[in-house]
Amino acid sequence: AQSVTQPDIHITVSEGASLELRCNYSYGATPYLFWYVQSPGQGLQLLLKYFSGDTLVQGIKGFEAEFKRSQSSFNLRKPSVHWSDAAEYFCAVGAQAGTALIFGKGTTLSVSS
Amino acid sequence: KAGVTQTPRYLIKTRGQQVTLSCSPISGHRSVSWYQQTPGQGLQFLFEYFSETQRNKGNFPGRFSGRQFSNSRSEMNVSTLELGDSALYLCASSVRGGLSSYNEQFFGPGTRLTVL
């Protein structure tokens, strides 16, 4: 069965420091992978997605993620974190048929000054 | 272009009651999906509707149902509410059903349901 694991429940990063949020997935075929961000009281906003091709994916707000098939990972990175990046981040995998997304439990990012 | 709207934003009900939540997709979008978000279970897929037909369903009891109208607006209904149904219910719309690099899902702000 498909599943997504985000090992870190909560991460605190200093403003200006780099960020890496981990995501591991379990899926038999080539997955469709996504990262979403959710701010308090808001819905989910898509940061980036991987369907095929280049394994390094660029997204909005300066985020990028790298698909590593051998490690079943799709980690999210940002070179320099801003205070406004504090939010909850969700990794998700989608089946190749249908629209249903399987989400990880999320990682809460706090940014310290 | 207006985003996905959900009404009401907040709702308080008591056990045993039923509730109906509404989702208006982005204009031109024909697919609507519903998700339940709770602290314990996280985000879980409920169902998807496309052109008034349920295309996909998650692993939820029959108390959870939905429908889609000809204008693509969707409603979900939960009957005989239980305390565990307290959650944020999110809907997402996309132009067409299915996942693809060109068919992004856009999420609404959610309806916060509290069951007392």
Selecting from B44, B90, B99 the residue whose C-beta is nearest the C-beta of A99 gives B99
Written in H, E and C, the secondary structure of A30-41 is CCEEEEEEECCC
Interface touch B31/A104, C-beta < 8 Å: no
- The predicted model gives A68-85 an average pLDDT of 96
> Residue B76: which residues within 8 A CB-CB, separation 6 or more?
B20, B21, B23, B34, B46, B47, B64, B65, B66, B89, B91
Nearest chain B residue to A52 by CA distance is B101
Three-state SS string over A89-108 comes to: EEEEEECCCCCCEEECCCEE
Q: How far is A5 from chain B (nearest CA, A)?
A: 12
Closest CA to B113 of B11, B8, B3, B9: B11
| Residue A32 near residue A47, CB atoms below 8 Å | no
pLDDT at A53: 86
Cis status, amide bond into B39, omega within 30 of 0: no
Tens of pLDDT, residue by residue over A31-69, are 889 999 999 888 899 999 998 888 999 999 999 999 999
Percentages helix, strand, coil for chain A, rounded to the nearest 5?
Answer: 10, 50, 40
Interface residue of B99, B101, B104 to substitute, partner A, most A CBs within 10 Å: B99
Give the span between the Cα atoms of A88 and A21, in whole angstroms: 11
CA distance A49 to chain B (A): 8
Count residue pairs from A and B with Cβ separation < 8 A. 64
Phi then psi dihedrals of residue A69, to 5 deg = -65, -40
- pLDDT tens-digit series, residues B4-55: 999 999 999 999 999 999 999 999 999 999 999 999 999 999 999 999 999 8
Q: Is A102 on the interface with B (CB under 8 A)?
A: yes
Q: How confident is the model at residue B102 (pLDDT cuts 50, 70, 90)?
A: low
A101:B97 CB<8 A: no
Q: Is the pLDDT of residue A96 over 60?
A: no
**Band (A97; pLDDT cuts 50, 70, 90):** low
H-run or E-run covering B22: strand B19-24
pLDDT given for residue A42 in this prediction: 84
